[in-house]
Structure 1
Amino acid sequence: MKQVIVGLGEALWDCLPEGKKIGGAPANFAYHAGQFGHDTLAISAVGNDALGKETLEKFNQKEVKYIMPQVDYPTGTVQVELDEEGVPTYDIKEGVAWDNIPFTPEIEEAAKNCRAVCFGSLAQRSSVSRQTIQKFLEATPKDCLKIFDINLRQNFYTKEIITNSLHQANILKINDEELITIGRLFGYPGLDIENKCWLLLGKYNLDMLVLTCGVNGSYVFAPNVQSFQETPKVNVADTVGAGDSFTGAFTSAILAGMSITEAHRLAVEVSAYVCTQNGAMPKIPQELLERIK
């Protein structure tokens, strides 16, 4: 197996007002990193049902490579409601296939050949998938880039899961609302945004912390580096998958040896473009892809 970039966790259908679209942060991340020419894999599980079959067909159409064992649980779905600005709220069904990802020999092999992996808190809500994610992270090479895209949803997280994930990650990606939640959970609500970020960076020995603040821009914090980029003004179709495209582009750029500032700028432009398109997996324009040589 070649060295791969892996999105690990939930594979599901976003049931949007205009119909259902394939989604889940790990598959979105793998799709976007793959557009930049990397060998990528989405790792999850699907049900032995019509929706599971349709999931794999859709990934084949989108040319997303995957390891998705079929399990005896329904394929995941999420009811998505969009507000007037196109910002989503989610109703995420429980007891589904991606809650039950088995740690198979094929998944272990992918871990051993993993160049970078993006994982979140959502797929760790159940013990089966949580154990698989932990085993995967432990099986990766020492120089594997581990991105914890925290992705807090509903009440599907605990302080223990977040702490363990932070200890295993090199990069934390978090948004401004999640940072407030973490501040409360970890007992430092009084600190301003930047000080919270520096504190998390130091306490968990992270290489980088990426903070997105919606229309108010985004930051990357690293030892002796702070990058800020304004959010471009665009006509938003919806913001579903925009954060995953940011992470996919940023990871691709960092692995290609771009500076933090250059990688950050590219990630912002990619995610702004994805906001102008419906659904989580649009094709990124060639001029953006060519920024990574």
Structure 2
Amino acid sequence: MKTKRNYVVGIGEALWDVLPEGKKLGGAPANFAYHVSQFGLQSRVVSAIGEDKLGNEILDNFQGKGLYTLIEKVEYPTGTVQVQLDNEGVPCYDIKENVAWDNIPFTDKLKQLAQKTCAVCYGSLAQRNVVSRETINAFLDAIPDGKGLYKIFDINLRQGFYTKEIICNSMQRCNILKINDEELVTVSRMFGYPGIDLQDKCWILLAKYKLEMLILTCGVNGSYVFTPGSVSFVETPKVEVADTVGAGDSFTAAFVSAILKGKPVNEAHQLAVNVSAYVCTQNGAMPELPENLINRVL
């Protein structure tokens, strides 16, 4: 009897974004999993918290949002990030080190979850510490191979918490790469092809790492989804921005949800653009999505 694979997992950092107006639940994997759950898919957040008040508040918040978790308590403080916003609402982060999500343990429960996972999203930030890096790699390795299974590397470069080795390894393990234009410039310099235009860089990465898809977001200048032999481009809608925290995670969540529900790439791409534009109009990373967006994957 085959194991049913129907879980969509965000693995990595779960933390508090401390914004000017107060603290809000954050961390790319949690943002991703929350938005996936809004589209009616079974999502799980995998992370670690401290045995402290902030950690308990994270669990309470997830429970209040109806979000399921596999979060271990460890002997490190729960993670926090000081977030300052510029005049355009674009965030600047001060990410505290040696915290709980740097030390996610690989457990039997986590291995069992991997065997029932149809899509997982991971980034480079949670791999800054060897413990969580080895857990993420072990989780990816425990997902059985098969058609329609997605390993999404949402690169998420932050504060120099990455190395060429981590980026290469993560690209080799994924079949969907999500990257923004600034990250693409950084990665291109790292890999030694800086003088090529952005689209050509994407084609090179798609071929080199045998990716099924490469998603490139360029802020107000639109976004692209590259697949072998074709490219989708969608303009970014003009909206009144409250802040951009979590907008990229909502894009990934909407895109993956639509693909898992059998939508073609161009429809999934258009939905992802509309969802992330909506999130930009709201404060914080986890607003409730309107029904007209959610209904587009049904």
Per the shorter chain, which TM-score range?
Answer: over 0.9
Which residue matches 1:119?
Answer: 122
Q: Does 1:169 align with 2:180?
A: no
Large movers: runs of 4+ above 2 Å: none
Which residue matches 2:63?
Answer: 60
Q: Does 1:279 align with 2:284?
A: yes
Q: Which amino acid letter does the alignment assign opposite residue 104 of structure 1? A: T
Distance 1:283 1:182 in 2: 33
Judge conservation of contact 1:171–1:210 (CA < 8 Å) in 2. Answer: yes
Which residue matches 2:233?
Answer: 228
Distance 1:64 1:17 in 2: 26
Give the CA deviation at 1:225: 1.3
Give the CA deviation at 1:252: 0.4
Give the CA deviation at 1:224: 1.2
Q: Does 1:110 align with 2:113?
A: yes
SS in 1 for 2:121: strand
Which residue matches 2:187?
Answer: 182
Give the CA deviation at 1:253: 0.5
Query: Per-residue CA shift, 1:143-181, capped at 9, x if unaligned?
Result: 321000000001100000000000000100000000000
Query: Per-residue CA shift, 1:166-218, capped at 9, x if unaligned?
Result: 00001000000000000100000001000000000000000000000000100
TM-score by length of 2: 0.97
Distance 2:163 2:5 in 1: 35
Which residue matches 1:69?
Answer: 72
Give the CA deviation at 1:63: 1.0
Give the percent of matched residue pairs that are identical in Structure 1 and Structure 2: 65
Which residue matches 2:91?
Answer: 88
Give the CA deviation at 1:2: 6.3
Which residue matches 1:152?
Answer: 157
Which residue matches 2:263?
Answer: 258
Give the CA deviation at 1:255: 0.8
Distance 1:176 1:146 in 2: 21
Judge conservation of contact 1:36–1:292 (CA < 8 Å) in 2. Answer: yes
Judge conservation of contact 1:2–1:39 (CA < 8 Å) in 2. Answer: no
Judge conservation of contact 2:5–2:115 (CA < 8 Å) in 1. Answer: no
Judge conservation of contact 2:18–2:83 (CA < 8 Å) in 1. Answer: yes
Q: Which amino acid letter does the alignment assign opposite residue 163 of structure 1? A: C
Q: Does 1:28 align with 2:62?
A: no
SS in 1 for 2:233: strand
Q: Which amino acid letter does the alignment assign opposite residue 50 of structure 1? A: K
Work out which of the residue numbers 128, 139, 143 in structure 2 matches 1:140: 143
Q: Which amino acid letter does the alignment assign opposite residue 240 of structure 2? A: N
SS in 1 for 2:23: strand
Work out which of the residue numbers 188, 213, 216 in structure 1 matches 2:221: 216
Judge conservation of contact 1:235–1:276 (CA < 8 Å) in 2. Answer: yes
Q: Does 1:291 align with 2:296?
A: yes
Distance 1:181 1:62 in 2: 36
Which residue matches 2:43?
Answer: 40
Q: Which amino acid letter does the alignment assign opposite residue 263 of structure 2? A: M
Please list every run of 5 or more consecutive structure 2 residues that lacks an aligned counterpart in the other structure.
none
Work out which of the residue numbers 172, 187, 199 in structure 1 matches 2:204: 199
Distance 1:52 1:42 in 2: 14
Q: Which amino acid letter does the alignment assign opposite residue 53 of structure 1? A: N
Q: Which amino acid letter does the alignment assign opposite residue 102 of structure 1? A: P
Distance 2:144 2:51 in 1: 32
Query: Per-residue CA shift, 1:35-59, capped at 9, x if unaligned?
Result: 0000000000000001000110011
Q: Number of residue pairs matched?
A: 293
Distance 1:84 1:110 in 2: 42
Distance 1:82 1:109 in 2: 40
